[in-house]
Amino acid sequence: MSISNALQTGVSGLSANSSKTSQISSNIANANTVGFRRTFSDFVTQNTTDTQAGVRAVERAEIDSNGTLLATGRLTDFAISGEGFFVVSRQPNDPIQSNYFLTRAGSFQPDNEGNLVNSAGYYLSGFETDAQGEVGAVDRNSVASLSTVNVGQFQTPGSATNRVDIGANLPAQTTGLATPGDPFVSTMRYVNQLGGSDELSLSWQPTANANEWSMTVTGADGTDFGTASMSFTDSGALAGAPATYTAGTLPIDPATGVATITIANGAVPQTIELNFGAPGTFTGLTQFSGDYTAPDFDGDGAATGSLVRAEMGDGGVLYGLFDNGQRRALFEVPLAQVTSPNLMRSVNGNAYSPTIASGALRLAEAGSTAGTIEGGALESSNVDIAQELTDLIQTQRAYSSNAKIVTTSDEMLDETLRIKR
């Protein structure tokens, strides 16, 4: 090897170690960056014909090495336990497929339109579910079926009340009096056909006959839905249970204790069954001595609800909790996989783009081989500060040694030039 070749070899060593120092610096700077993956330089020998002529640095990344999960308590912080990646886009519902990337940085927050965006400005993508919580037929080999996850534009439609189970205790001592007292009145709320809340008034009037009551149902607007009478058993094992129901203007089934009312609140009237409890049972109305117990109304309707918050559930399903008490699936957040994640291309914002070398994109369900999604947590970087500082010392020594090659070669060339003099 000539002096000139030795000089070039030293220069290649300086360049390679400079590149490695740059990678170490980036790792240390991002030691606390959520979901960051460390990069490093592999040194590869450079040859000219049969002569070793130096070294070059090849940048590599440990994308497939996971960091530690840290609990944050924020519902829209998501961490992946496993090998998958979140799919994110530059803009909400970005139409350009090349603007979709993969990331492990799950620090998402709703923007002013409710779209979940992370600290790097990338929007989370998922499969929107239907009213039954299903995603239907989607393409899991591309981003074509994905849409931006939004938690700000959801309402659950109301479901009209069809049946209400009613439980209450009527005071036995108020019946059989020559001059009956005032009726006991309670207000029942129900859901109308448009998801709104309306009221019915239920009245129980004690009669001059012992253990007998007159029952009336009235609408909030004064509509009289009818009156029926009922009596209670006064002795034996069934004492206090309904004995008979007698329909008057209020249609009631004497065998089941279910009254049916029809409310004209739409082109098709709403029908509600009021279940007061079958004769000989204690599941509905009862009559015991003591105080009047206000009814417990257990209806099947639900008012229209607005989204209160979102939370991550099993299988990567993002659920919405609504102010009407309902909980329903909003999105399935898939986890992306590639065959060789370390060969993906790094892009700005702690994200990656699949390449031909990394393999084709697959969108798997969370909970499969791609891993699981943990809500209220973030993944730390996979940088080991102690290791990086150790590598920095070794790299500095190697750089100094290569610098010595350059200065020595320079001195030898200078000595050669002096021979001529």
Q: Is residue 20 part of a domain?
A: yes
The one-letter amino acid code at 419 reads I
Domain boundary among the residues 299, 324, 351 is at: 299
Residue type at 189 in one-letter notation: R
pLDDT digits 0-9 by tens, 70-96: 999 898 999 999 999 999 999 999 999
| 179 and 56 in a common domain | no
Residue 6: band (very low, low, confident or very high) from pLDDT cuts 50, 70, 90: confident
Stated pTM of the model: 0.67
Task: Please tell me the distance from the alpha carbon of residue 173 to that of residue 289, in angstroms, as a whole number.
Answer: 6
User: In terms of domains, do 167 and 267 share one?
Assistant: yes
Identify whether the C-beta of residue 210 lies closer than 8 Å to the C-beta of residue 176: yes
pLDDT of residue 1: 54
Residue pair 295/202 in contact by the 8 Å Cβ criterion: yes
Determine what percent of the chain is predicted with pLDDT higher than 90. Answer: 60
Round to the nearest angstrom and report the end-to-end CA distance of the chain.
Answer: 25
Reported as a single tens digit per residue, the pLDDT across 26-73 is 889 988 888 888 888 888 887 765 666 688 888 888 888 888 999 998
State whether 38 and 148 are in the same domain.
no
Q: Answer yes or no: is 188 within a domain.
A: yes
- What's the pLDDT at 313? 85
What's the pLDDT score for residue 332?
A: 94
Non-local (6+) Cβ contacts of 130 within 8 A are 136
Specify the pLDDT at position 211: 96
Does 99 share its domain with 202? no
- The answer on 221 and 104 residing in a single domain is no
52 vs 20, more confident: 20
Signed CA dihedral, 335, 339, 342, 348: sign only: negative
CA atoms of 109 and 77, how far apart (whole Å):
8
299, 320, 352 — which closes off a domain?
299
> Are residues 343 and 243 part of one domain?
no
Q: Does 11 score more than 70 pLDDT? A: yes
Q: Within this chain, do residues 12 and 33 fall inside the same structural domain, yes or no? A: yes
Whether 67 is covered by a domain: the verdict is no
As a whole number of angstroms, the longest Cα–Cα distance in the chain is: 143
Q: What is the pLDDT of residue 50?
A: 61
Tokens of 405: 């090659």
390 and 375 inside one domain:
no
Domain-embedded: residue 189: yes
Examine the domain organization and report whether 111 and 218 are in the same domain: no
Q: What pLDDT does residue 306 have?
A: 76
- In the listed set 275, 299, 323, which residue is the last one of a domain according to the structure? 299
Q: Name the 3-class secondary structure at 309.
A: strand
Residue 396 domain-assigned? Answer: yes
Could you tell me the CA-to-CA distances from 16 to 30, 54, 120, 386 in Å, in that order?
22, 10, 30, 22
- Name residue 47's beta-bridge partners: 52
Count of other CB atoms within 10 angstroms of residue 63: 23
State residue 164's pLDDT score. Answer: 96
Residues 201 and 265 in one domain: yes
Q: How many whole angstroms separate alpha carbon 135 and alpha carbon 227?
A: 49
Return the CATH number at 242. 2.60.98
40 and 121 assigned to the same domain: no
Residue 244 lies in a domain: yes
Residue 413: give the domain boundaries: 3-62+382-420
Q: In which band, very low, low, confident or very high, does the pLDDT at 305 lie, cut at 50, 70 and 90?
A: confident
Query: 255 and 169 in one domain?
Result: yes
**pLDDT band, very low/low/confident/very high, at 415 (cuts 50, 70, 90):** confident
Whether residue 47 lies inside any domain: the answer is yes
The total domain count for the chain is 3
Average pLDDT of the segment spanning 155-179? 91
Q: Distance (Å, rounded) from C-alpha 334 to C-alpha 342?
A: 20
Coil/strand/helix, residue 33: coil
